[in-house]
Structure 1
Amino acid sequence: MYGRRDVLRASAALGLLAASPWLTAGSASSPLLTRTIPASGEALPVIGAGTSGSFEVEPGSAAYQQLQSALAAFFAGGGRVIDTSPNYGGADAVLGQLLEEGGWRAQCFLATKIAADSREAAERQWAGTLQSLRTDKVELLQIHNLRDWQRQLPYARELKAQGKTRYVGITHYLNSGHAEVAEIVRQQPLDFVQINYAVNAPQAAETLLPLCQAKGVAVLINRAFDDGRLFARVKDQPLPAWAEQLGVGSWAQLFLKFAISHPAVTAVIPATGRPDRQLDQLKAGQGPLLDDAQRRLLIQQFA
């Protein structure tokens, strides 16, 4: 049953969209492609969002208001997956406030992390995470960069058994972590893995992505833009002609399409605080994907 507060939140969100006609225009495009989570069969849109950097803003500031519009564009465009962490400079608290103000929590597939070195520290952090995110559960709980994973993964599974999270997983963001991630995937039952994969860092496709696919583990991709460094490399360069023929309209779209074109990838989670970039990124989840030959061309170009 909806209360007065829920109605006010929904009205505020609709008002935000109405005040920005280009947001609603962007949301009228074709639906996002989806991939299923092997552990459950649940479908997720292939374009998600991250919070590192972009959500580290002061509530009420101009940057916060811009972020609010970006999030409105994300949900209006069919996005669901948002990945955050308690050690992203307060980004989780900002995300929690935005989700509550916009009335978007029910639409959001909320992923966060445990980054602690003891059971006691993890319990304290988890309690703070729920408070910051203004929720009593999340969809995905991940062990951040394999930190103390031997203790924290069992704790995450306990929380899953309690209904505090639906899925558990592990993360890393460097090629140097892939071997250990792969060994854990071989030995431990996991729902998700989050790793880096980009046109200039395609090593995950050699062993790790096929392994996740064989083991039935969903995959989130971080650093698809190499923390923005890829854009410096393509400044003033035109897109490949074959990419434009696929309907790709920007380098950001092409970098994201590269990631989601691998069949093992469930979703990619680029971060942005700008509504225009958010809409551009969502377009990467529409239309045809890259074939093997096109992925190889990009890898050669950025090697």
Structure 2
Amino acid sequence: MLRLTGASCAAVWLHPSSLFSSNAQTMIQRKIPSTGELLPIVGLGTWQQFDVGLSESERQQLTEVLTQMIEQGGKLIDSSPMYGRSEQVIGELSTLPAINSKLFYATKVWTNGKEAGIRQMQESMTKMRRKTLDLMQIHNLVDYKTHLQTLYKWKEEGKIRYIGITHYTASAHEELERIIKAETIDFVQFNYSIRIRNAEKRLLNAAKEKGVAVIINEPFESGTLFSAVKGKKLPDWAAENDINSWGQYFLKYILAHEAVNCVIPGTSNPKHVVDNISAGLGRLPDEKLRLKMIDYLTAG
């Protein structure tokens, strides 16, 4: 059960009415700068949570996660060869008609060398059962110069629709910035949260200026944000700003930055995916409220 839930699915303290409330609102969408295609601003990460075996109960739960995400307006699902069986599980579950054509499929290449990269990306497409992938990213910038050349060619050939680069540590932000300024990149993925705000210094603005779409990973800091607020109540002013859980509190802070196209919290819990998706509904904080959110979170 711990494996299914995962670190980033730590307990979410909800207002009782918000667990499975009827959702008549529409998820906020933002344009991918390189094409103008609209993308819903909350998606799904799959590290650990989708690395499961053949258990029927595990597969049923993950199918429900994907179904709920789609029904609530989410679209982007992000994976990697680094994530164990996640790509294969996504491929198997997405054969269902209600899921197959409704997702924006993103994965990564994570190896050294041109031929090894080509083999790995081909294997990923086979595992995910896609003839065309929406987004192929270079995971943690591993041999990125080599893989970029392959990805430019694959994009011309229609094997992939978008090219991206990724990292998960703030120490890589300067290099990510340098690459998006020097190369033709559609997406950049990096870590950003209400407590780890290094991306606000330069990287977010650089992506916006260069017309590069932004995907945010580690929005819950591997679940440690939930530990930090354990026993702490949401402020009285949260609900009036469409914030109904700590998960939404953390996500809405991120989504309020206009450079962010999509945030990808990972979960294998259907209730949590509904709550996460709800962060993409209703109002987003203005700058004054974002500062207030930081102050409340860090107050003793």
How does the TM-score come out when normalised to structure 2?
A: 0.90
2:176 to 167, 181, 186: 181
* Match runs of 1:142-161 below 5 Å: 142-161=137-156
Q: Which moved more, 1:197-206 or 1:97-106?
A: 97-106
Using the alignment, how far apart are the partners of 1:229 and 1:266 within structure 2? 24
Contact 1:44 1:267 in 2 (8 A): yes
Q: Deviations over 1:76-97 (max 9, x none)?
A: 1111111111110110000111
Q: Distance in 2 between matches of 1:213 and 1:130?
A: 30
Who is 2:115 aligned against? Answer: 120
SS in 1 for 2:193: coil
The aligned amino acid for 1:44 is L
By how many angstroms is 1:263 displaced? 0.4
Q: Matched residues, percent identical?
A: 39
- Residues 193 and 218 in structure 1, CA contact (< 8 A), matched pair in contact too: yes
The aligned counterpart of 2:103 is 108
Change in 2 beyond 3 A, CA 1:42/1:167: same
| C-alpha RMSD of the superposition | 1.6
Deviations 1:126-150 (A, max 9, x none): 1110110011111111100111101
Q: Secondary structure, in 3 states, of the residue corresponding to 1:53?
A: coil
Which letter maps to 1:99? S
Deviation of 1:68 (Å): 0.9
Q: Paired residue for 1:36, among 28, 31, 35?
A: 31
Q: Please tell me the residue identity of whatever aligns with 1:170.
A: I
The answer to which of 188-197 and 234-243 deviates more is: 234-243
CA distance in 2, matches of 1:232, 1:28: 28
Q: Find 1:99's aligned residue among 80, 94, 106.
A: 94
Which of 65, 81, 85 is residue 90 of structure 1 equivalent to? Answer: 85
Query: Could you tell me whether the CA contact under 8 Å between 2:66 and 2:99 is conserved in 1?
Result: no
Once the two structures are superposed, what CA deviation does each residue of 1:155-182 show, in whole Å capped at 9, x if it has no partner? Answer: 1111111101111010010001001001
Counterpart of 1:113 in 2: which secondary structure? strand
Is the contact made by 2:141 and 2:166 (CA closer than 8 Å) also made in structure 1?
yes
Q: Which amino acid is 1:192 matched to?
A: F
Secondary structure (helix, strand or coil) at the match of 2:274 reads helix
For the residue of structure 2 that corresponds to 1:141, the secondary structure is: strand
- For 1:281, the equivalent position in structure 2 comes to 276
Q: Deviations over 1:218-277 (max 9, x none)?
A: 000000000111000001111122222112110001111111100000010111111111
8 Å Cα contact 1:145-1:171 kept in structure 2 = yes
Q: Does 1:218 align with 2:245?
A: no
Which residue number corresponds to residue 45 of structure 2? 50
Instruction: Tell me how far apart the structure 2 counterparts of residues 237 and 278 of structure 1 sit (CA, whole Å).
Output: 22
Secondary structure of residue in 1 paired with 2:30: strand
Residue in 2 that maps onto 1:257: 252
CA-to-partner distance for each residue in 1:52-91, whole Å, 9 max, x for gaps?
0110111343222111111110111111111111110110
- Aligned amino acid, residue 257 of structure 1: K
The two structures have a TM-score, normalised by structure 1, of: 0.89
Which letter maps to 1:271? G
SS of the aligned residue for 1:190 comes to coil
Checking the alignment, whether the CA contact within 8 Å between 1:26 and 1:77 is kept in structure 2 is no
Shift of 1:29: 2.7
What residue ranges of structure 2 are gaps of 5+ in the alignment?
Answer: 1-19
Letter in 2 for 1:177: A
Higher relative CO (Cα under 8 Å, sequence separation at least 6) belongs to: 2
- Structure-2 separation of matches of 1:179 and 1:28: 39
2:204 matched to 1:200? no
In the aligned structure 2, how far is the partner of 1:262 from the partner of 1:244?
20
Deviation at residue 302 of structure 1 after TM alignment = 4.0
- Deviation of 1:299 (Å): 3.3
